Structure 1
């Protein structure tokens, strides 16, 4: 098995998982249709020879009865296809989509900080039709053409081996030509898919950054960029369509040449009494269509299958990246988090954190302060197991974070970020994250997070809008707090959660976080308000990736060191 086949095997399996019965009946229909088509050719030969006065035929009544049976069989097999073939295709594609989406959810928590989401959007939208055609629809088309080809060839050999050999000889050239075009077609299909990704990404950026585009009056430039991407995509599609037409032209011309040549040669055999009857001549041309049709259609079907395979390999390869290696260790946090000699850089040779040493005791409140770029958010990312390429250790009680199972880790801790993502659904669903909780637990989380007023005004069934467009910045942050409370997270990581809020709302949200009993809060903040900072058990001050000071607000102010400078400047 080739490496590509190994990579896509679990994805192809999704087409057939719990779907074999539907596939079997759809396959039976294809085989039966091929057999009936060959049978109808034989009936045509019998009728022609009967009219021509040949003695080696069935009677007219017998032919009528056989024909009626063939038509009845044809109707039955198409009824089978009507029921089972759509079920096989829709179920197979649905399972494939679900498997791809499930694989995306297994990626590392930091995956989409370094990857483009557009490639996955394209894989689950634009590429699906190509995969359905190439790996499902064309599977039946390929089987039908192969069976029809073999059946027609067998009957041709029965009628005239010599004429059959001549036909095969004439058909070799179009087969070779079609194989060559098939490879080029697959490359053209991949180019279209790649450009579709770029197009999707541009469209997504334009809509997501619409307010920025309008405020900076760059509509014309964005339109120019969009048109350029449309033009590039159109060029790729144009090349693909031209390649397809060229392949069809070569196949069609070859088929015409072979068909006319065989008809002329068969006529010569009849005129010279070489064992070929008028009925055999007519049916030979009919059977030749069944031989030539696969020669014409199969290369295109195989090219589409090859193109679909490239797309399967592409998504499978992408989904193998940024996967956190899961361990069996589970932790029940009883003491806290200990960081020793922690150093890390996103790129090799460019260290951001240097020899970090600190303890976060269970139930206490910690602030991490420092100028932009000092490594505050990076430290929180490492506490969320976003990266494992660090040196030193991060221990939850006595267990290194690398050895903790993801489900266990994210049951222990949760994070509130500056940009809270809100789903376009109800307040309740956004708080519960589509999970089941008791009404009492939900009500408690709403009360403690400060959402009670919002819920009383709008109700739990209020639709928040796309990315929370119906909520204010402070309300979004409170929803995020409620999520963490509902999950009973022992550790709450907060990354500049109030940076985009007005001063009053920022104070209220920060105060809500500090008042959470029994929760270890580790808060990255740019806001140096004395009333809030005095509530932290310890403040860690980062400078150029190192902890230069740590202590309570009063002790740090008394020392008049780096923190004192930051605090003084901020006032």
Structure 2
């Protein structure tokens, strides 16, 4: 069966959007329902404050029983409300934990399948994930509670006295006018400060990177003058921003006086008309409760801004994974076959018209000048580099991860036992593992308890030759039939390099290797095909001196 690959073109397949739909799909339904219910019951604090203060006026202070019942009922109501708020926050923390795990798994899996480097994925899992947690996940849950509080409080206000309640709500919203009207100008001042701050940081970074040259050419005072100018500009813009925010706050205070005293005045005036049913108790309840609506509206706006501020970091690019489909190529040769291979880097052609056939268990060494593209060729064979033209087959199929082991001079080892580094946490018996390390000579060197040897600090406690043999053992353990070797002995001495090649050249596998340094006698001894890579392609040469 022959295989090839195709990539899906749909953009929706290439992105994971962290949004409300993603949250609902990630969280268990019972948890979502519990959070909503507790969000409702915990939203009654503002209502209780207004209601209880309004009812105090009605309590018969001469009746001890009435006073006791009032205090007990208020206590129970507050207890239920605060226990609900506590439970809401605990369930919110559990939900965020679930979302964080899923988010970091998504970052890790997509980065692992792509070409992000270690620093990028570390930044995603730590810094960006934390930003999404604090500014998006947390804000979404607080938006739920704040929105429910506004709804329940508004219902209470209108239910207490519809006419006066409507007036209170309308007047209460006046305090939001300054921030709304000043938003555009505030955005401009924020942008001015942000731009000047970025300019200062960039110039500071540039100056520090070039400080050797700046000192050598004795132009320090000129650069210091530029930095001082940018620093003053940045601080001036920051002062202007702060002053404008303070001015908006002054306007907000003025409106706050109006929105606080206005409803009281209107309520007291309307109370003169007994037919409207307005009492002092109603006025007190509405004053305290209506103020909560405005406060929560401000919080709602702030939370919405926090959510909107995360838009740029909540879209995760998915790596395109090749989809394997049948390939009806006429290739029928067992072993490794390279047909008309071309690799480009941008507009530049790196490799062109590369053809090679290695029969089953045949071995070849590729040499050539530095920079000619030997490593690129091996990467193209293994599928790590995209091909502009041509293809690579192994045993009549497109080369797949399951076919080969790729070994370079930089062997990946991690902290753990030799057993872990061989199995990569797959299930192999110690008997099989012992047989493999014996084949590569590690059992003789490390002793009977070699599998329990602790590899530390990314392999710092093993030699270069041992690391190479661990990599070879991984391939043998998984019965890989194609070994792709990239300068694996360049950092070894001649004796150890020969040992490694003696081992590899005797394996019953197909081998294609790149190398600068090699032993012609050893190549002749094992009948290794020697090829030279140049701008003219891949051409065979004799192994004799």
Deviation at 1:62, TM superposition (A): 5.8
Deviation at 1:490, TM superposition (A): 0.8
Question: Which ranges of structure 1 fall in alignment gaps of 5 or more residues?
Answer: 54-58, 197-237, 402-408, 558-571
Q: CA RMSD in A?
A: 4.3
Once residues 261 and 279 of structure 1 are traced to their aligned partners in structure 2, the CA distance between those partners, rounded to angstroms, is 21
Q: How does 1:35-74 map to 2 (within 5 A)?
A: 35-48=44-57, 50=59, 60=67, 63-74=70-81
TM-score by length of 1: 0.75
Structure 1 residue 475 corresponds to structure 2 residue 470 = no
Report the 3-state secondary structure (helix = DSSP H, G, I; strand = E; otherwise coil) of the residue aligned with 2:56.
helix
Q: How does 1:318-397 map to 2 (within 5 A)?
A: 319-320=318-319, 323-329=320-326, 335-348=334-347, 350-397=348-395
Bigger radius of gyration, 1 or 2?
2
Instruction: Report the counterpart of residue 20 of structure 1 in structure 2.
Output: 29
Once residues 333 and 362 of structure 2 are traced to their aligned partners in structure 1, the CA distance between those partners, rounded to angstroms, is 13
Greater share of strand residues, 1 or 2?
2
Once residues 426 and 362 of structure 1 are traced to their aligned partners in structure 2, the CA distance between those partners, rounded to angstroms, is 34
The structure whose RCO (Cα within 8 Å, separation 6+) is larger is 2
Contact residue 343 and residue 386 of structure 2 kept, 8 A: no
Structure 1 residue 139 corresponds to structure 2 residue 140 = yes
For residues 455 and 519 of structure 1, do their structure 2 counterparts lie closer, same or farther at Cα, with a shift above 3 Å needed? same
Contact residue 365 and residue 537 of structure 1 kept, 8 A: yes
Report the 3-state secondary structure (helix = DSSP H, G, I; strand = E; otherwise coil) of the residue aligned with 1:466.
coil
Deviation at 1:478, TM superposition (A): 1.4
Once residues 188 and 94 of structure 2 are traced to their aligned partners in structure 1, the CA distance between those partners, rounded to angstroms, is 31
For residues 308 and 477 of structure 1, do their structure 2 counterparts lie closer, same or farther at Cα, with a shift above 3 Å needed? same
For residues 343 and 334 of structure 1, do their structure 2 counterparts lie closer, same or farther at Cα, with a shift above 3 Å needed? closer
Once residues 473 and 193 of structure 2 are traced to their aligned partners in structure 1, the CA distance between those partners, rounded to angstroms, is 50
Deviation at 1:504, TM superposition (A): 1.5
Once residues 13 and 362 of structure 2 are traced to their aligned partners in structure 1, the CA distance between those partners, rounded to angstroms, is 52
Report the 3-state secondary structure (helix = DSSP H, G, I; strand = E; otherwise coil) of the residue aligned with 1:363.
coil
Once residues 162 and 18 of structure 1 are traced to their aligned partners in structure 2, the CA distance between those partners, rounded to angstroms, is 41
For residues 34 and 325 of structure 1, do their structure 2 counterparts lie closer, same or farther at Cα, with a shift above 3 Å needed? same
Instruction: Report the counterpart of residue 109 of structure 2 in structure 1.
Output: 102
Deviation at 1:510, TM superposition (A): 1.8
Instruction: Report the counterpart of residue 530 of structure 1 in structure 2.
Output: 520
Report the 3-state secondary structure (helix = DSSP H, G, I; strand = E; otherwise coil) of the residue aligned with 2:447.
helix
Once residues 193 and 25 of structure 2 are traced to their aligned partners in structure 1, the CA distance between those partners, rounded to angstroms, is 28
Question: Which ranges of structure 2 fall in alignment gaps of 5 or more residues?
Answer: 1-10, 202-234
For residues 5 and 434 of structure 1, do their structure 2 counterparts lie closer, same or farther at Cα, with a shift above 3 Å needed? closer
Deviation at 1:523, TM superposition (A): 1.1
Report the 3-state secondary structure (helix = DSSP H, G, I; strand = E; otherwise coil) of the residue aligned with 1:267.
helix
For residues 140 and 173 of structure 1, do their structure 2 counterparts lie closer, same or farther at Cα, with a shift above 3 Å needed? same
Greater share of helix residues, 1 or 2?
1
Contact residue 25 and residue 80 of structure 1 kept, 8 A: no
Q: How does 1:36-435 map to 2 (within 5 A)?
A: 36-48=45-57, 50=59, 60=67, 63-78=70-85, 80-81=87-88, 83-107=90-114, 111=115, 115-158=116-159, 159=161, 160=164, 161-175=166-180, 177=182, 256-274=253-271, 277-313=279-315, 316-317=316-317, 319-320=318-319, 323-329=320-326, 335-348=334-347, 350-401=348-399, 409-435=400-426
Deviation at 1:437, TM superposition (A): 0.9
Report the 3-state secondary structure (helix = DSSP H, G, I; strand = E; otherwise coil) of the residue aligned with 2:416.
coil
Instruction: Report the counterpart of residue 227 of structure 1 in structure 2.
Output: none
CA deviations 1:172-216 (Å, max 9, x no partner) are 333455688689989999x999xx9xxxxxxxxxxxxxxxxxxxx
Once residues 116 and 143 of structure 1 are traced to their aligned partners in structure 2, the CA distance between those partners, rounded to angstroms, is 37
Deviation at 1:297, TM superposition (A): 2.0
Report the 3-state secondary structure (helix = DSSP H, G, I; strand = E; otherwise coil) of the residue aligned with 2:17.
helix
Contact residue 468 and residue 476 of structure 1 kept, 8 A: yes
For residues 49 and 254 of structure 1, do their structure 2 counterparts lie closer, same or farther at Cα, with a shift above 3 Å needed? farther
Report the 3-state secondary structure (helix = DSSP H, G, I; strand = E; otherwise coil) of the residue aligned with 2:451.
coil
Once residues 25 and 464 of structure 1 are traced to their aligned partners in structure 2, the CA distance between those partners, rounded to angstroms, is 48
Contact residue 417 and residue 494 of structure 1 kept, 8 A: yes
Farther-moved stretch of structure 1 (493-502 vs 293-302)? 293-302
Deviation at 1:248, TM superposition (A): 8.2
Once residues 247 and 299 of structure 2 are traced to their aligned partners in structure 1, the CA distance between those partners, rounded to angstroms, is 12
Farther-moved stretch of structure 1 (84-93 vs 520-529)? 84-93
Contact residue 440 and residue 472 of structure 2 kept, 8 A: yes
Contact residue 60 and residue 67 of structure 2 kept, 8 A: no
For residues 507 and 176 of structure 1, do their structure 2 counterparts lie closer, same or farther at Cα, with a shift above 3 Å needed? farther
Report the 3-state secondary structure (helix = DSSP H, G, I; strand = E; otherwise coil) of the residue aligned with 2:366.
strand
CA deviations 1:339-361 (Å, max 9, x no partner) are 1222222222x112121111021
For residues 433 and 250 of structure 1, do their structure 2 counterparts lie closer, same or farther at Cα, with a shift above 3 Å needed? farther
Once residues 192 and 128 of structure 2 are traced to their aligned partners in structure 1, the CA distance between those partners, rounded to angstroms, is 14
Once residues 334 and 5 of structure 1 are traced to their aligned partners in structure 2, the CA distance between those partners, rounded to angstroms, is 36
For residues 142 and 41 of structure 1, do their structure 2 counterparts lie closer, same or farther at Cα, with a shift above 3 Å needed? same
CA deviations 1:259-298 (Å, max 9, x no partner) are 3222221332355344654434433332233222223322
CA deviations 1:20-77 (Å, max 9, x no partner) are 3223322322221113432342222222455899xxxxx6566445423312422542
Deviation at 1:493, TM superposition (A): 0.4
For residues 453 and 547 of structure 1, do their structure 2 counterparts lie closer, same or farther at Cα, with a shift above 3 Å needed? same
Contact residue 38 and residue 85 of structure 2 kept, 8 A: yes
Report the 3-state secondary structure (helix = DSSP H, G, I; strand = E; otherwise coil) of the residue aligned with 2:357.
strand
Deviation at 1:16, TM superposition (A): 4.6
Deviation at 1:102, TM superposition (A): 1.7
For residues 352 and 7 of structure 1, do their structure 2 counterparts lie closer, same or farther at Cα, with a shift above 3 Å needed? closer
